[in-house]
Amino acid sequence: MAAVDLNTHPGHLARRLQQAHHLLWTTMVSEEITSPQFAVLNTLAAEPGLDQRTVGERVGLDRSTIAEVISRLIRRGFLDKDRDPRDGRRFLLRLTDDGLRAHRRLTVRTARMNRIFLAPLSTEEQTLFLDLIRRVADAADELRAPADHLVTPS
Amino acid sequence: MAAVDLNTHPGHLARRLQQAHHLLWTTMVSEEITSPQFAVLNTLAAEPGLDQRTVGERVGLDRSTIAEVISRLIRRGFLDKDRDPRDGRRFLLRLTDDGLRAHRRLTVRTARMNRIFLAPLSTEEQTLFLDLIRRVADAADELRAPADHLVTPS
DNA sequence: CCGAGACAGTCAGTGTACTGACTACTTGCG
DNA sequence: CGCAAGTAGTCAGTACACTGACTGTCTCGG
């Protein structure tokens, strides 16, 4: 007794949402390449030659996790990793031809999957939905890293 | 080039939302007990003596994952696990006194955390937000398990 | 009353995801 | 120039999350 209804807990619902997405992804997009892996390919398609840390920042993954994701993508031949000649700490990343092809192929399927995933909502609700999630996620991020980009302390 | 804006991808946003939640949880609720673990405690507080599979169903975790979560809770003394005398396949689970205390303590903190997590949204937006997530997640679940509970095939 | 199919739980394998400790390289300041 | 502080990446440890293969138990029909 004295138990709570988990369906009023955003954290619980967020987890369920991600599981639902994972299910649709593996059946409709790819069993080989995961959604975070696609995010990495996508980022490097837009900006080739980024270093590991920056890619992680773009897709929202910490140093350790992005390292693992990238090493898997390299193992499968989708990515190349070369030491930055100008800064020996960095590795520069770029897509291989295979990686580029995979990205193109998955882009199409991902769009289709997103449509079906959001199908239970009306068009206005879909836009609102994405906006609400973004606002909540961004606000929580601010708590970690105080918003220097808005109010630089004088 | 030809890259997509990840901020229009519900899957990407769902992941970011969960990360944001995880951050708030560990700082505001507990570093020891995770959100899925709390969900299990909560379920057993409401319905003591459930078996493992059913608990997993209630909190939305598959057999393998729920087994690990439960074994961690047992290791820490929050749960007891006894063979069902009436069905030798099942284990019946119930909270220990420690588990009950932990659940009570975390319930308070979780409520506080949820308020802060949702603070960027107005009250109406909060209700809407939870409702939208639930609808999307439920719909995707239906794709896995055809809705027997609505239309039983004649 | 016995055997086939269903069902609960375990185990191995893969893939996020985080923290905290460590290494190696760079940069800027004295 | 030379070292301290900062930064990029690695590594170990923990926890969730899924699939698919396997073990042990139960149940129902013949």
The pLDDT confidence band at residue A3, using thresholds 50, 70 and 90, is confident
The predicted structure's pLDDT at residue A148: 46
pLDDT averaged over chain B?
Answer: 91
What chain A holds in terms of domains, given with CATH numbers, is 11-143 (1.10.10.10)
The residue with greater pLDDT, A26 or B1, is: A26
The predicted structure's pLDDT at residue B150: 41
Instruction: Look at residue B1 and tell me whether its pLDDT is greater than 80.
Output: no
The amino acid at residue B40 is V
Q: What is the pTM of this model?
A: 0.91
The predicted structure's pLDDT at residue B2: 76
Whether any strand C atom is under 7 angstroms from the Cβ of A98: the reply reads no
Condensed to tens digits (0 to 9), the pLDDT of residues A19-64 reads 999 999 999 999 999 999 999 999 999 999 999 999 999 999 999 9
The pLDDT confidence band at residue B22, using thresholds 50, 70 and 90, is very high
Condensed to tens digits (0 to 9), the pLDDT of residues A74-121 reads 999 999 999 999 999 999 999 999 999 999 999 999 999 999 999 999
Instruction: Look at residue A154 and tell me whether its pLDDT is greater than 90.
Output: no
Residue with tokens 């007794």, as numbered in its chain: A1
The predicted structure's pLDDT at residue A68: 97
**B79-84, strands of its sheet edge to edge:** B50-51, B87-95, B79-84
Q: Which nucleotide is nearest to B19 (CA to C1')?
A: C17
Distance CA B37, CA B57 (A): 14
3-state secondary structure of A153: coil
Across A88-92, B72-76, B104-108, B144-148, least confident range: B144-148
Q: Among partner residues B17, B43, B140, which is closest to A133 by beta-carbon distance?
A: B17
Residues 6+ apart with CB under 8 A from B103: A3, B38, B41, B42, B45, B95
Instruction: Look at residue A145 and tell me whether its pLDDT is greater than 70.
Output: no
3-state secondary structure of A53: helix
Give mean pLDDT, residues B51-66.
96
The predicted structure's pLDDT at residue A142: 79
- 8 Å CB contact of B133 and A104: no
Instruction: Look at residue B154 and tell me whether its pLDDT is greater than 50.
Output: no
Q: Which helix H or strand E contains B83, and what residues bound it? A: strand B79-84
Angle, alpha carbons A70-A18-A104 (nearest 5°): 50
The predicted structure's pLDDT at residue B21: 96
Instruction: Look at residue A153 and tell me whether its pLDDT is greater than 50.
Output: no
A86 burial class (0-12, 13-18, 19+ CB within 10 angstroms)? Answer: exposed
The predicted structure's pLDDT at residue A52: 96
The pLDDT confidence band at residue A152, using thresholds 50, 70 and 90, is very low
- 8 Å CB contact of A6 and B42: yes
Instruction: Look at residue B153 and tell me whether its pLDDT is greater than 50.
Output: no
Strand C contacts in A 112-151 (CB under 7 A): none
Q: How far is B75 from chain A (nearest CA, A)?
A: 23
The predicted structure's pLDDT at residue B146: 56
The predicted structure's pLDDT at residue B151: 39
Dihedral of the CA atoms A146, A60, A110, A21 (nearest 10)? -90
Which of A129, A131, A142, A144 to substitute to test the interface with B, most B CBs within 10 Å?
A: A129
3-state secondary structure of B7: helix
Give mean pLDDT, residues B65-88.
95
Instruction: Look at residue B149 and tell me whether its pLDDT is greater than 60.
Output: no
The predicted structure's pLDDT at residue A146: 55
- 8 Å CB contact of A17 and B17: yes
Rounded percentage of chain B residues whose pLDDT exceeds 90: 88
Condensed to tens digits (0 to 9), the pLDDT of residues B87-129 reads 999 999 999 999 999 999 999 999 999 999 999 999 999 999 9
